[in-house]
Amino acid sequence: MKEFSIYPPLTATEPRPGQLLIAEPLLTDTNFTRSVILLCEHGEEGSVGFVLNQPTDIQLNKLVHGMPSNGPMVFKGGPVQNDTLHMLHRIPGKLGHGKKIANGIYWGGSFDDLHNLSTSNVCDDADVRLFLGYSGWGPGQLQSEIKEGSWLVTDANPDILFGTCHDDVWKKAIESLGRKYAHLAHIPTDPQLN
């Protein structure tokens, strides 16, 4: 439990799909240090999301037989069920519909369609993000972490997900909170370096 805060409090609201969870600058959990998570499900049974800024070196063709070696990057979605592959995209008409998470962001789709688009070079890799595993919370767990200040919460922006280099996602997400939070983007990972 945090006893002090280095940022102004955000209005406490119930988390909902379509929000970004932005790790506070000094979060020490190695799975989530400086991470940004897109929340895709939240309910009585818990929450599910995907870390947007932890790329892997794994090529898609190593995970899905027949896929070309080029294609969308594969990210580490979180520490849960790392043997599952998930898709976020912004082209529902081309990849099957998927579940709309926010304006311009869909979860799920057809890997067959992705294969066809990738092999014919019709798909822009920036339109699709793939994730091994996911981030999950049990009932009430995410609300507790937000209340104690582990996560800053804002509405998702497709430009952060699809139009920002993974190295800059955390900083851009912090800056999207507004001027009173912008200074957080410059706090060093090790506060002793400040």
For residues 51 and 156, give the distance between their C-alpha atoms in angstroms, rounded to a whole number: 13
Among 5-14, 92-101, 131-140, the range scoring the smallest mean pLDDT is 5-14
Topology of domain 19-86+129-193, per CATH? Answer: VC0467-like (3.40.1740)
- The whole-number average pLDDT for the span 179-190 is 78
Q: What is the pLDDT of residues 148-172, one digit of tens each?
A: 989 999 999 999 999 999 999 999 9
Show the DSSP H helices in the chain as ranges: 111-119, 141-147, 158-162, 169-175, 179-182
Q: What is the pLDDT of residues 62-83, one digit of tens each?
A: 888 878 777 788 999 999 999 9
- For residue 53, is pLDDT > 50? yes
pTM: 0.89
- For residue 93, is pLDDT > 60? yes
